[in-house]
Structure 1
Amino acid sequence: MISLILKRSAFHEQNHLFKPQFCFQLLSSLTQSKSHNSYTSSQNHSILPSGYGFLGKKNSGFSSSSLQRLEIPSGIFCNGRFYGSQSQTAIEPSTSDGLTVDGIIANNWTILDEDESDWKSHASAIAQSIHLIKKRLKWKNLLVRVRMLSFQLDKPDLWDDPIQASKISREHGLLTGKMNEVKKFEQELLEHIDMIKLSHEENDPELELEAVKALIQMRRSVKEKELEALLVEEHDSCSCFIEVQAGAGGTESMDWASMVMQMYKKWAQRRGYRVTVVDEMPGEIAGIKRATIRVDGENAFGYAKAEDGAHRLVRCSPFDSANRRHTSFAAVAVIPILGEGLSHYQIKESDLRIERFRSGGAGGQHANTTDSAVRITHIPTGITATCQNERSQHSNKASAMAVLQSRLDKLEMARQAQMNAQHTQSLAENTFGNQIRSYVLHPYRMVKDHRTSYKVSNADSVLEGDIDDFILSYLSASLDKDEDEL
């Protein structure tokens, strides 16, 4: 009967994917009139509302996946205070015979390629990915943070401060969503394993094949989540400004700064981000002295922040008649755009000095004819922002204010984190020994990231915007070097 229900409800569908909720409802309707003894239940077992778990055989009946109950305190300590009072129970999902995700990792099953049919290999790969995601999310800290946010959301006076309440609600929803995704992966993995074990008991190769296919698909999905888990910081989902400034070296460095800016434009376009030129100061002969672009898109700052620092170029100079080898530097700063209501620094109008001048550049019907360009200086910090790329003075002022706000926000975040507050004011130091990456075009061709030692020989591809591997390598190294417990 069970095999017939499974096949009719799952494998005869067009996509051949098992639908656990449908089958559970079907089995429940067939067994409504049966005795409660048809399902085994004890103090350490309970019936789940979905999944394969109920198909595990036990005592001549069918029971849910085992759930190991772990007693943990419901409250947390934060800033010397304890949040919560009632005890709660955390449950760790397992298969019908007690196998957990941690147990799969402990078994150390060999991980083979995706095209292999060994279900243990796929299960082990998925379990390792889940473990890595938890590590990157700092799982235990995440649980504590969600508990504290839940406590704050329950306060009756929460919405007395709408801006703060909105921040708390937004963060709680984001973190809860990440937690639920991980828990869903754990439950699905164990349900698929239960199905494979059931197929062995009933000698049903068709059922086993479909469950293995589901594991392979899940293996791909959880691998994608591994990459998403790299973006765990508060502002990673924001859009950003990318600033490039030529270092010492005259025309050589200005040309290199222009190449770096073009690299980021092409990278952003590859990812489907929208790129807007905010400010650009051309060099006297070639290249740019400095430039700022705005990159709009999901997780733009989370990825681009890996590029923050000095970039070094080694090549035979096209501006040297003797064709000698030169070394040039360009500094890159990446600044998050926090959005309305999320700014860390409140700007006072009295602290601003606004200057208007004629825009430079290639000219045209409008450029160089009116005082449309705007430079805004924040007097207390000395930070400036300039925009001359828009047609109207009003638009240039709005863009310059957005850049200034983001720079001040980053300065404030750096100060709060006890970092170097001068970083966004002067960019990184453009000298030997401070570069994060070297681009060598002569006498050999190679691009190497000095933070991770990751390198590629196809320098042309990198300069065309293919920098995702460098970004992911850096983000992975930054998170995975933390050996704290989950």
Structure 2
Amino acid sequence: MSSLIQKRSSLLPQTLTLRRQFVTRLFSPSFSETQTCNSSSSNRKHPIHGSGYDFLRKHFTGSSLISVGNSKLSSGSDLGLLNSIHFRLFSSQVAVEPSTSDGLTVEGIIANQWPILEESESDWKSHASAIAQSIHLIKKRLQWKKLLFRLELLSSQLDKPDLWDDPVRAGRISREHGSLIGKMKEVKAFEQELLEHIEMIKLSREESDADLESESFKALIEMRRSAKEKELEALLSGDNDIYSCFIEVQAGAGGTESMDWASMVMKMYKMWAQRRGYGVTVVDEMPGEMAGIKRATIKVDGEYAFGYAKAEVGVHRLVRISPFDSAKRRHTSFAAVAVIPILGDASAHVQINESDLRIERMRAGGAGGQHVNTTESAVRITHIPTGVTASCQNERSQHQNKASAMAVLQARLDQLEMARQAQMNAQHTQSLTEISWGNQIRTYVLHPYRMVKDLRTNYEVSDPDSVLEGDIDSFILSFLSAALDKDEADM
């Protein structure tokens, strides 16, 4: 072990030189290798370690001031200037593509077209090529150029001296700015890590250090595995993807047939959510006269619930021999699915005035029980200006039903506002504009053959039973990938 440490120490100066070159490129020319930090207690010279932003953050506390050129930063509204400096530092980092000492870059790895072999193969170039391809795909899915453009726009807003006159808006801009930079820094760090491991493999071979080469090789394999997870995360890069959501299912025309189909679809989503470890709560349910449901709403709690479930928005079609038809004829049924994000940012919610609400109380329907049907515990709330309604009857008390109905109403109004803004900006998204009866997305055939086919992507499986039991991730990922590819082609 001691010999390994000594060998690493002999390689350290070269590694530090590479890191120093990378860090030097991170800073704009206006920054020297030291900055003066003027605090209430003393004036000291501080060497810059890590990113310039980390240095500024470290000393940006209380009454401290930081001298940056001719500007001084203090607490409060100067946070915008600090964020702007962060963006300029980060832009400098993104503009210069990181490379190894011999000039190899991620794009260079892709251009070399090193063959990608199985993970079990002991070829470091194969692993490096697979990781580089993943990084390229992640950038494509994140729409890298659009992110940079958006960062520039947010940075210019943060530069405005009157930004913090509206703290709510300023906070929202600052949070989005930080979130975007966080996403991009994570990708750049992953890219840099790949190049550092390649550098260490080359250096270890020059020094005939088998232990260090083995360690770096294992690190490449781990990176290759984690790259697949990052590819999936990049699919869920929408503004609201991370939030929980409501899933609503409504039966189409067709009477009992469609109501039974609607209940099957809702059961499918409950099982899907449980498979993913999400919490599921029934918010509202209106049973059919003979079977099934007329409509139902569930709340799905968990990270990225909306990001995944938004792929299910639209009309779902079933073809089968009807269990309600004595003649055993084939029937076609329809059910519509809507997915609404539950926004976590309170400042993004539509403000609801109590005077704009009409609240109706009634006896709950359903299977009954000692309490459910004996009191007026069910609640329906109507937002008078828009006509949007929400109801809940599954809780034990009127107060709980009202709270649940208000949560659904809030989410629907938020979605309505997002759709209005999207229309104004001519930016129509699948999750907001395809909630209509004219957009059939998937067909489930149980007779005369067995198949489930997504009409948007042409992805299909021959086991409808597994799909109806909640195994729909393959359809979701296929759609999300296709949607991103389409966006890329339209750019």
Pairing 1:156-175 to 2, within 5 Å after superposition: 157-175=162-180
Alpha-carbon distance change, 457 to 178 in structure 1, aligned in 2, over 3 angstroms:
same
- Determine whether 1:142 maps to 2:117: no
Q: CA deviation at 1:205?
A: 3.8
Determine if contact 2:271/2:469 at 8 Å carries over to the other structure.
Answer: yes
Measured at CA, do residues 173 and 47 of structure 1 come closer, stay the same or move farther in structure 2, by a change above 3 Å? closer
Match among 2, 5, 8 for residue 8 of structure 1: 5
Structure with a larger share of its residues in helix:
2
In the alignment, is the contact (CA less than 8 A) between 1:344 and 1:413 conserved in 2? no
Of the three residues 308, 311, 315, the one matched with 2:313 is 308
Residue 412 (structure 2) aligned to one of 390, 407, 412: 407
Alpha-carbon distance in 1 for matches of 2:16, 2:472: 55
Quick one: which amino acid aligns to residue 312 of structure 1?
R
CA 1:389/1:424 → structure 2, altered by over 3 Å: closer, same or farther?
Answer: farther
The amino acid across from 1:351 in the alignment is D
Q: Residues 80-131 of structure 1, C-alpha deviation per residue, up to 9 Å, x if partnerless?
A: xxx9998974322111110000101111111111111111111111111101
| 1:367-446 equivalent positions in 2, closer than 5 A | 367-418=372-423, 427-429=435-437, 434-446=439-451
CA distance in 2, matches of 1:189, 1:6: 26
1:202 pairs with 2:210 = no
Where do residues 78-477 of structure 1 align in structure 2 (5 Å cutoff)? 89=92, 90-153=95-158, 157-339=162-344, 341-418=346-423, 427-429=435-437, 434-477=439-482
What's the offset of the Cα at 1:156?
Answer: 5.4
Residue in 2 aligned with 1:67?
A: none
Question: What is the SS of the residue equivalent to 2:373?
Answer: coil
Q: Secondary structure at the match of 1:141?
A: helix
Contact 1:245/1:257, CA 8 A, preserved across alignment: yes
- 2:166 alignment partner AA: D
* Distance in structure 2 (CA, Å) of the matches to 1:137 and 1:145: 12
Deviates most, 132-141 or 251-260: 132-141
Figure out how many residues of one structure are paired with residues of the other and give that number: 424
Among 18, 21, 29, which residue is 1:46 paired with?
21
State the partner residue of 2:70. none
1:27 to partner: Cα distance: 6.8
Deviation at 1:167, TM superposition (A): 1.6
Code of the aligned partner of 1:383 = V
Please report how far the alpha carbon of residue 483 of structure 1 lies from its aligned counterpart in structure 2 after TM superposition: 3.1
Check 1:238–1:188 CA distance in 2 against 1; reply closer, same or farther (3 A cut).
same
- Check conservation: 1:387, 1:399, Cα contact below 8 A: yes
- Quick one: which amino acid aligns to residue 186 of structure 1? E
- Counterpart secondary structure, 2:250: strand
Q: 1:93 to 1:355 in 2, by over 3 A?
A: same
CA contact 2:101–2:199 (8 Å) conserved in 1: yes
Q: What code does the residue aligned with 1:337 have? A: I
- Secondary structure of 2:126's counterpart equals helix
Compared with structure 1, are the counterparts of its residues 426 and 281 closer, same or farther at alpha carbon in structure 2 (3 Å cutoff)? farther
Indicate the residue corresponding to 2:72 in structure 1: none
Unaligned runs of 5+ in 1: 11-22, 32-37, 50-82
Alpha carbons of structure 1 residues 329 and 40: separation in structure 2 relative to 1, 3 Å: closer
CA offsets, 1:462-482, max 9 Å, x none? 111111111111111111223
SS in 2 for 1:353: strand
The whole-number CA distance in structure 1 between the counterparts of 2:236 and 2:344 is 18
Q: Which amino acid aligns with 1:115?
A: S
Q: Is the 8 A contact 1:407 1:424 kept in 2?
A: no
Q: What is the RMSD of the two structures over their aligned residues, measured on CA atoms?
A: 3.0
Q: Deviations 1:29-81 (Å, cap 9, x if unpaired)?
A: xx7xxxxxx99979x982659xxxxxxxxxxxxxxxxxxxxxxxxxxxxxxxx
Q: Counterpart of 1:92 in 2: which secondary structure?
A: coil
**How far is 1:154 from its partner?**
5.4
Shift of 1:409: 1.1
Question: Which residue does 1:72 correspond to in 2?
Answer: none
> How many angstroms apart in 2 are the aligned matches of 1:195 and 1:456?
45
Structure 2 contact 393–401 (Cα < 8 Å) conserved:
yes
Letter in 2 for 1:428: S
Change beyond 3 A, Cα 1:425–1:360: farther
Mapped partners of 1:143, 1:425: distance in 2: 27
Distance 1:462 1:236, change over 3 A: same
Specify the SS of the correspondent of 1:401: helix
- Note if contact 1:441-1:459 (Cα within 8 Å) is conserved in structure 2: yes
Match of 1:18 in 2: none
Cα distance in 1, alignment partners of residues 175 and 477 from structure 2? 26
**CA separation in 2, counterparts of 1:186 and 1:86?**
20
Change (3 A) 1:147 1:9: farther
Q: Which shifted more, 461-470 or 134-143?
A: 134-143
Q: Which has the higher mean CA deviation after the structures are superposed, 141-150 or 308-317?
A: 141-150
CA apart distance, 1:443: 1.6
C-alpha distance in 1 between matches for 2:327 and 2:16: 86
Is 1:310–1:428's contact at 8 Å kept on the other side of the alignment?
yes
2:4–2:211 Cα contact (<8 Å) kept:
no
Give the whole-Å Cα distance in 1 for the aligned partners of 2:132 and 2:453.
Answer: 32
Q: Secondary structure at the match of 1:229?
A: helix
In the alignment, what sits opposite 1:20? none
Distance 1:314 1:228, change over 3 A: same
Query: Offset at 1:347?
Result: 2.1
Structure 2: unaligned runs, 5 residues or longer: 25-83
Residues 285 and 143 (structure 1 numbering): CA distance in 2 closer, same or farther, change over 3 Å? same
Contact 1:451 1:474 (8 Å CA) reproduced:
yes
